[in-house]
Amino acid sequence: QIMELACEQISQVDVLILDELGEAMRRGFVTREDVEALIAIKPATTELVLTGRGLLPLADLADLVTEIRPIKHYFDEGLLARQGIEY
């Protein structure tokens, strides 16, 4: 499981990125409790980066929260997701 691996590695790396964690939570692969446990064991010297929609409920546990929004995007012109870029 990804969170078990993350817990094993977090004390051995300077930066740990869990990309699209919000989607993993939405699909039930990861729980809030899993994330809280990871944050609890995170060394102060490790930067933990969590990405994905639906993570706002975890904002109270974060040191930094950002939101990225498109200003100009080809989706607005009807272009579909591109293989190798969005998937």
pLDDT tens per residue across span 15-61: 999 999 999 999 999 999 999 999 999 999 999 999 998 899 999 99
**In the structure, what pLDDT confidence band is assigned to residue 6 with cuts at 50, 70 and 90?**
very high
Region 2-77: CATH code:
3.40.50.300
What is the model's pLDDT at position 38? 96
Query: What is residue 5's predicted lDDT score, i.e. its pLDDT?
Result: 95
Q: What does the domain layout of the chain look like in residue ranges?
A: 2-77
Residue 74 vs residues 14, 65, 70, 81: alpha-carbon distances, Å: 35, 26, 10, 9
What is the pLDDT at residue 3? 93
Residue 4 has pLDDT above 90, yes or no: yes
Locate 77 and state its tokens: 């012109």
Best CA proximity match to 40, nearest among 71, 65, 67, 6: 6
